Structure 1
Amino acid sequence: MSVNVAHLTSLFENATEGIILTNGQGNIVMVNPAAERIFNYGAAELTGKAIEILLPEKARPQHHQMREQFYKTPSNRQMGHGRDLYGKRKDGSQIPVEVSLSFYKKDDELFVIAFIVDITQRKKHEQDILQQQRELESMTHNMQKLNTQLEAKVEERTLILKEALKKLEESQKDLSEALDKEKQLNEIKSRFVSMASHEFRTPLSTVLSSAALIAKYKQTDEQPQRERHVEKIRNSVKHLNELLEDFLSLGKLDEGKVEAHPVSFELGEFIADLVDEMKGLLKQGQQFSVQHEGSYACFSDKKMLKNIIVNLLGNAIKFSGEGDPIYLHSRTTEKGLHIMVRDKGIGIPEDEHEHLFNSFYRAKNAVNIQGTGLGLHIIKRYLDILNGEIKLKSQLNEGTQFDLFIPNYQ
């Protein structure tokens, strides 16, 4: 018997839940250490006091009635089902609690055991979840607003591009090489319209569907699903921005608004930063192989050079398989800067090499891969401004190599 008493005493003293024992008059008989910590009272301060000392003032009258009713029909149950319960500490502050009741009789006297849990942290977490939900709802609203704006921009750009195509067709009628060049133009137009329709519709559809699904995940344990759809929205918007940037860059080039602004910079740091930015786009198993020869001092248009290399590396990643290396070699000489970008991807059919730098042109084996057909055209235009040149080597299913030369800026 003494062993059992020792066990029970240990359980009472070391329980993580607060335990308060009251008698048939509602007076506190025993308090365990956990309850002392919860309410900041010592056991001696509570013993003999009415249990209502641990309740907020406004809850005491109603609790007294409920206590009397419980004594008439006692049962093991949880208090405050569907309601928030609060306890009152010694300093008068209130804390949210969960209370479960049990009872027993001894010598015909009823004793009630209250098991008390301080749920302050849980309530705080619930408030954080509600705040996140409100933020997600706000984000959904903002994404819907952004989607409307993007649709308007897409429609505006589409009208501009259709007008540009219309002018091209009108000009084509005045050319002497009618049949052959008209056929090429129509093929370009067909590819572009198909590309624009697909490239804009796909991310917009993703934004709409993910925004709609976010609103359906309201439970706390559904946070990973919400985060996954938010990430899809971010990626889709990023892709749309990249498409718009291509169109805007082409527009500025066509209007003659792009000029070179050379500056001195350290090539090694420049390439290291650029490669670090691009690592996030690598497919599983892909790696960059970077080499440099010569001086690291460079004097050129830093922004144009970055756009050129980023575009070439992006293509190498996109058209290569998982595990394939991507090569970036640079070399400086007295005459200028040499850049080589090589991959082991799908390659380019030989009969399409001559068309590859035309605007909106995409090789037949790349039509199912995301892209606008503007990247290489913009690269060629930038190199023309820098008095540079680009050469292509590629074999189907073997890979592609681009060799660039940019002379020292005069």
Structure 2
Amino acid sequence: MNQKFTLRDLVRSHIDKPELLRMQLDAMSRQIPLVYLIVSVNVVGVAVAFYGDAPDLLTIWTPLVGVSLFLLRSIAWWRSPKTFQTPELALKELNRVSILMAGSALALSSWCVLLFPYGDAFQQSHIAFFISVTLIGTIFASIQLPRSALAAIGISGTAFVIFFMTRGNMVFSAMAVNFIMILSVVYLLVKNYFKTMIAFINSNNELSGANDELQALYEELKFHRDHLADQVDARTAELKEQTLKLEQALEAERKLNEMQNEFVSMVSHEFRTPLAVIDGTARRVETRMGDMHSEEIRDRMTKIRGSVKRLSNLVERALDASRLASGRIQCHPEAYNPKQLVEEILERNAEISSGFTIDVDLKRLPETLIGDPDLMDHVLTNILGNALKYSQKNPHIIITGGQENGSAVISFRDHGVGIPRNELKRVTERFFRASTSTGIQGTGVGLNLVGQIVDMHGGKLEIDSEVGNWTEVRIIVPLETEYEIDIEMDSPAEKLQANMNWEI
């Protein structure tokens, strides 16, 4: 990219370019002694040429002091550090060099002007030669530092051009014009050199950035090369894990479909039995209506009512499954008395529990809980019904109520067939029935719905059992719970996924 440079760009301090400052300082560290050497040799030559014609102050003492100062400065320069920790320190050293160069140019110009009147034409020409050689040598020796080079041009060059033009001598005037042309060319050289140096630094920075980027890409490529096997293994393991999860989901869905099919088959069988009883009893009553006594008819009607009740229970369980499948159950929380609720349920089931011994101890149960009394009625009724259904051979049920760790606890303990330990985790799965329930009517839906309702109340359902001896179901609900008016269960798809993820 072409960049325009003005005189201001050449003389200003480029503190914003640390690389340029380092390059200038490195160049000047090699070339400053050369500048002092050029000046010292030419000073001695001019002093010798004017010795005897000009005062000793100008031909001996002034050159001696000047050369001594140049020598001391060269020694100090050689001994000073050439590296600086910050750009500010490097700039400070370069500014010192520029000031010394400007001061030297001014001092030498003044010395030459003072010598000029004492010389003849040959000696005056020697001064012109001295000026040209010294100035041009100094400029090229300090070309990396444009401020110093332009200071030499501005001070010495301008001073001698004016001085020669005012001598009234055609030769000196021609020399002044020639000097102007040479200085103009030298200025352009200084400008172009500095422009090239800036372009070099910019290119070097771009190259360094490209190298850094290339190195980063190389390191990344090297990393991927060295870890390719690990990445392949990780991806393979991820695919295997996803495949396993998919297989597990498909297997869970297959098992769920099997359980649903078993449920349909079981419900069909359960419906067939009471329907057959109703049909057979109705036929007998129809054919023997005139010969049957009232007691016999009452007995037949009782059988029909029992079968109808059994059908009603089956329909209710089917509706429970439908509610679960729909994914929404309405919960209307309010204050209710759990003791009274249990007593009402016992009274409502008094007929079917007439042959049971039921021990009830609800003294430690709180008088009031917050929840949906209808849903909790369903929970307690279902658990009591299971206790009655599965403990026909040992009709003893214990119902207790109390408080534990800020929660109300209602426990039902029967002494029936029990549940195998390895099946306890599955009894709340939809459509699952324990292996000990064979021959006992049921759908496998009740406890699943019970668990959902207890969860909705912020509680938990605990089931423990010993096969052939007892089963204990504990409903634990918090004493203080915040509810929303409508509690929405998972969608059917989410509930299906939940079923697939249950531990089996």
Calculate the TM-score normalised by the size of structure 2: 0.44
Q: Is the 8 A contact 1:260 1:386 kept in 2?
A: no
Aligned residue among 478, 481, 499 for 1:409: 481
Aligned residue among 269, 274, 284 for 1:213: 284
Counterpart of 1:317? 388
Shift of 1:221: 5.3
The within-5 A match list for 1:39-54 is none
Task: From the superposition, tell whether residues 294 and 341 of structure 1 become closer, same or farther in structure 2 (CA, over 3 Å).
Answer: closer
Counterpart of 2:330? 259
Task: From the superposition, tell whether residues 270 and 221 of structure 1 become closer, same or farther in structure 2 (CA, over 3 Å).
Answer: same
Higher-Rg member (1/2): 2
Q: Which structure shows the bigger proportion of residues in strand conformation?
A: 1
Counterpart of 2:351? 280
Q: Is the 8 A contact 2:463 2:471 kept in 1?
A: yes
Q: In 2, distance between residues paired with 1:240 and 1:276?
A: 22
Q: In 1, distance between residues paired with 2:336 and 2:253?
A: 46
1:270 equivalent in alignment to 2:341: yes
Cα deviations by residue, 1:343-399 (Å, 9 ceiling, x for unpaired): 111001112112111111111221210111111011011112212101111111011
1:352 equivalent in alignment to 2:423: yes
The within-5 A match list for 1:129-140 is none
Three-state SS of the structure 2 residue aligned to 1:230 is helix
Q: In 1, distance between residues paired with 2:401 and 2:376?
A: 12
Three-state SS of the structure 2 residue aligned to 1:215 is helix
Aligned residue among 237, 243, 249 for 2:320: 249
Shift of 1:318: 0.6
The within-5 A match list for 1:149-188 is 175-177=246-248, 180-181=251-252, 184-185=255-256, 187-188=258-259
Q: In 1, distance between residues paired with 2:438 and 2:385?
A: 16
Shift of 1:322: 4.0
Counterpart of 1:290? 360
Three-state SS of the structure 2 residue aligned to 1:317 is helix
1:194 partner letter: S
Mark the runs of 5 or more structure 1 residues left unpaired by the alignment: 1-173
Q: In 1, distance between residues paired with 2:462 and 2:438?
A: 23
Higher RCO (CA 8 Å, separation ≥ 6 residues): 2
Q: In 1, distance between residues paired with 2:292 and 2:300?
A: 15
Three-state SS of the structure 2 residue aligned to 1:391 is strand
Q: In 1, distance between residues paired with 2:366 and 2:274?
A: 43
Counterpart of 2:262? 191
Counterpart of 2:414? 343
Task: From the superposition, tell whether residues 269 and 225 of structure 1 become closer, same or farther in structure 2 (CA, over 3 Å).
Answer: same
Aligned residues: 237
Counterpart of 2:469? 398
Task: From the superposition, tell whether residues 225 and 216 of structure 1 become closer, same or farther in structure 2 (CA, over 3 Å).
Answer: farther
1:379 equivalent in alignment to 2:446: no
Three-state SS of the structure 1 residue aligned to 2:329 is coil
1:223 equivalent in alignment to 2:223: no
Counterpart of 1:75? none
The within-5 A match list for 1:64-213 is 175-177=246-248, 180-181=251-252, 184-185=255-256, 187-213=258-284
1:299 partner letter: I
1:395 partner letter: E
Q: In 2, distance between residues paired with 1:336 and 1:364?
A: 32
Q: In 1, distance between residues paired with 2:448 and 2:400?
A: 22
Q: Which structure shows the bigger proportion of residues in helix conformation?
A: 2
Task: From the superposition, tell whether residues 177 and 269 of structure 1 become closer, same or farther in structure 2 (CA, over 3 Å).
Answer: closer
1:409 partner letter: T
1:305 partner letter: M
Counterpart of 2:131? none
Shift of 1:332: 4.1
Shift of 1:270: 2.1
Aligned residue among 359, 362, 368 for 2:433: 362
Q: Is the 8 A contact 2:365 2:408 kept in 1?
A: no
Q: Is the 8 A contact 1:296 1:332 kept in 2?
A: no
Cα deviations by residue, 1:270-321 (Å, 9 ceiling, x for unpaired): 221111112211263x121111114312222101111101101110111103
The within-5 A match list for 1:4-23 is none
Q: In 2, distance between residues paired with 1:237 and 1:212?
A: 16
Deviant stretches of 4+, over 3 Å: none
Counterpart of 1:328? 399
Calculate the TM-score normalised by the size of structure 1: 0.54
Shift of 1:401: 0.5
Three-state SS of the structure 2 residue aligned to 1:390 is strand
Q: Is the 8 A contact 2:365 2:409 kept in 1?
A: no
Q: CA RMSD in A?
A: 2.4
Q: In 1, distance between residues paired with 2:253 and 2:332?
A: 38
Aligned residue among 221, 226, 235 for 2:306: 235
Shift of 1:186: 5.3
Q: In 1, distance between residues paired with 2:358 and 2:399?
A: 7
Cα deviations by residue, 1:230-277 (Å, 9 ceiling, x for unpaired): 111111111112111122223223323312212222333222111111
Cα deviations by residue, 1:128-152 (Å, 9 ceiling, x for unpaired): xxxxxxxxxxxxxxxxxxxxxxxxx
Q: Report the identity percentage.
A: 28
